[in-house]
Amino acid sequence: MAKRGLVYPASLLLLLLLLSCFAEISFGKVLFSSLKRTLVVTASPKEGQASIIRATSNVIEFAVLKAGEDKITVNWGLNKTFPAGTDSAYKTIKVKLCYAPISQEDRAWRKTKEDLSKDKTCQFKIVSRAYTASDQSFEWTVERYVPLATYFVRAYAYDANDDPVAYGQSTDGKKTTNLFDIKAITGRHASLDIASICFSAFSVVSLFGFFYAEKRRAKSSQQK
């Protein structure tokens, strides 16, 4: 009798489990294509820094910034060509550092997806501020954890429900202009290098040391 009482909750659990197999919790799916590009964003290395944009023959060298050292100034504001009131819903602005297409090649973990909740283009937050009608500016020191890649800057505008409603980016629609490189830290230190080499040498030398000791022990026991 007790067994029968378990049938209903058990089958309910099974049903839930089955459903959860295929359910993907996605409410409020926002697509990138639904956003309007109403913001103007510019990103430039701080004046006086050693990195400048050069154009030599057909090759355009992007500005190179060093992670942990160089600063980049980001400016954003509403595009004045849009009618007034476009920005009535904007409550917060989040400015992010995003990968350029060249750095997304053969790297599925940086892929651009239409569904913004799954999009991995912009993985680093530069700044997050409440939206104001006037143009804003922020100077950001490139963090040490930013990897070696080519980037641009994008700003998302969020409404009161924290859903993205508009964006702006420092490059064009195809993400080919005004890109910049960030040169990451290697993470290597001289002390690490030395420690690695020393321990490795010790490992091999101790092996031969043990072998030699074994041979000597064998020889001496044979002589006995």
Binding residues (CB under 8 A) for other proteins: these are 17, 20-25, 105-109, 144-145, 147-149, 184-189, 192-193, 195-197, 199-201, 203-204, 206-207, 210-211, 214, 218
Backbone angle region of 106, left / alpha / beta, with phi > 0 → left and psi within -120 to 50 → alpha: left
CA 117 to chain centre: 14
Nearer to other proteins, 21 or 52 (CB): 21
CA distance 50 to 185: 17
Min dist. Cβ of residue 129 to other proteins (A):
25
Nearer to other proteins, 37 or 183 (CB): 183
Min dist. Cβ of residue 224 to other proteins (A):
9
Nearer to other proteins, 39 or 121 (CB): 121
Min dist. Cβ of residue 116 to other proteins (A):
13
Min dist. Cβ of residue 78 to other proteins (A):
31
Nearer to other proteins, 40 or 184 (CB): 184
Q: Which segments of the chain are extended strands (E)?
A: 36-37, 39-45, 54-56, 59-61, 63-66, 71-78, 92-99, 122-130, 136-141, 149-158, 164-169, 180-183
Which residues touch 2 (CB under 8 Å, ≥6 apart)? none
